[in-house]
Structure 1
Amino acid sequence: MTLHREGFGTIALALVFLLLLNLGVEYLTPELNWLHTLLLVVSAVFFFIIVQFFRYPKRRPTLNPKQVIAPCDGKVVVIEEVVETEYFKGPRRQISIFMSPVNVHVNWNPVAGIVSYFRYHPGKYLVAWHPKSSTENERTTTVIRMQNGVEILFRQIAGALARRIKWYVSEGQQVGQASEMGFIKFGSRVDVYVPLDAEIKVNLNDLTTGSITVLAELKS
């Protein structure tokens, strides 16, 4: 299993903390062997959960210039027409994917093109499925202009547990479809905004696989 580079520091800190905790408890309570065993088992399970969160699977991505692919693993929780107020300032179709702590948390670019807009917004840490999380939580907004001129906007949104968003794009950068865009730690959400005439290929509650699942097919 390959681990994402964002996890190296967290995994090391968790390992040191658990080792010190187990050694400290054993030193303070040398006669309680049952407690030492229980703590060791709980520590191993906790460490495994931390490690699996940062897994980085190898995948064969979907590459199609007329399709918008899922930027992350998760569950489709919103498909609706909205007014996007930050960049387009007009109607778009929003597709939102909720990422639970057990999902892979790598983020991929949904289309290929030039990053025409990028902003980081500090904010709150409402639960990721809260209706206001898209506009009030810590988040990034990225817009990619495709070769045909169509622009796709997507947002990384921090949740109640996810308090660190990482991104690897900047304005003016050329990006490939399914190339790595960023990472969000410990539960979060990604919103994707597509043109109203795009054909939506997913349904509510569908599970998505980042870089593979097709969210929408563009008309132009």
Structure 2
Amino acid sequence: MRLHREGFTIMITTGLVLLALNLFAYYYLLSDNSTAILLLAIISLILFVLIVQFFRIPNRLLTTGETQVVAPADGKVVVIEETTEGEYFKDRRRQVSIFMSPLNVHVNRNPITGTVRYFKYFPGKYLVAWHPKSSTENERTTVVVEAANGTSILFRQIAGAVARRIIWYVKEGQPVKQGEEFGFIKFGSRVDVFLPLDAEIKVNIGDVTKGGVTVIAELPS
């Protein structure tokens, strides 16, 4: 396991603030109360560990396959439905949505190999990620990747009530590889994937996914 570069500043800052707080409490604020000092140290350690675990990147054997669509994120499947995708395709698609809690790994991975044909960032609100309007009103990005066989997949990072910053590493015209990072969302959010109607969905509502590993759909060969 390793730690994501997006968390270095937050982890160092948090560590220094907690260290300063504990030193101040030990020498001045709580110098005569050993129980309170110990309790503060334990709480600080737990908080720091929670921050660090959020930015972890576990070692994984990634799934690859030309007709397989892998999960772009760790989390829980909260939506599987046929809907109209109105931003890029403007037609009917199968939508699979994965909710990411603050305890999940938050690396976002390309669901297929191909070329980025469309990318757009939208500033917006921070409604809870499961709110019906979060996919159209929250801060978000939209990425469309076209595979070698011409099939296109749209996936969208959506910030939640806690997440306040979306990171992306792709741009239009860029070739991308299945399982590689395309972005990161800090502290909880959602990723929507829009698939062709003839895609065979391989997950169910409530399933737990692993980014880059879990196959969420099979495309026609």
Structure-2-length-normalised TM-score: 0.98
Cα separation, 2, equivalents of 1:117 and 1:123: 19
SS of the residue 1:86 aligns to? coil
Cα separation, 1, equivalents of 2:166 and 2:121: 9
User: May I ask how many residue pairs the two structures share in their alignment?
Assistant: 220
* Residue deviations 1:31-72 (CA, integer Å, cap 9, x gap): 121111110000000001001111001111110010110001
> Structure 2: which 5+ residue stretches go unaligned?
none
Cα separation, 1, equivalents of 2:62 and 2:34: 50
Shift of 1:22: 1.1
1:17 is matched with 17
Which amino acid in structure 2 is aligned with residue 189 of structure 1? R
SS of the residue 2:56 aligns to? coil
Q: What is the root-mean-square deviation of aligned Cα atoms in Å? A: 0.8
Structure-1-length-normalised TM-score: 0.98
Which amino acid in structure 2 is aligned with residue 2 of structure 1? R
The reply on whether 1:197 has 2:198 as its aligned counterpart is yes
Structure 1 runs of 4+ with >6 Å offset: none
Shift of 1:28: 2.3
In the TM superposition, what are the counterparts of 1:163-182 in structure 2 within 5 Å? 163-182=164-183
SS of the residue 1:18 aligns to? helix
Which amino acid in structure 2 is aligned with residue 116 of structure 1? R
In the TM superposition, what are the counterparts of 1:137-148 in structure 2 within 5 Å? 137-148=138-149
SS of the residue 2:191 aligns to? strand
Q: What percent identity do the matched residue pairs reach?
A: 64
SS of the residue 1:13 aligns to? helix
> Structure 1: which 5+ residue stretches go unaligned?
none
Shift of 1:131: 1.1
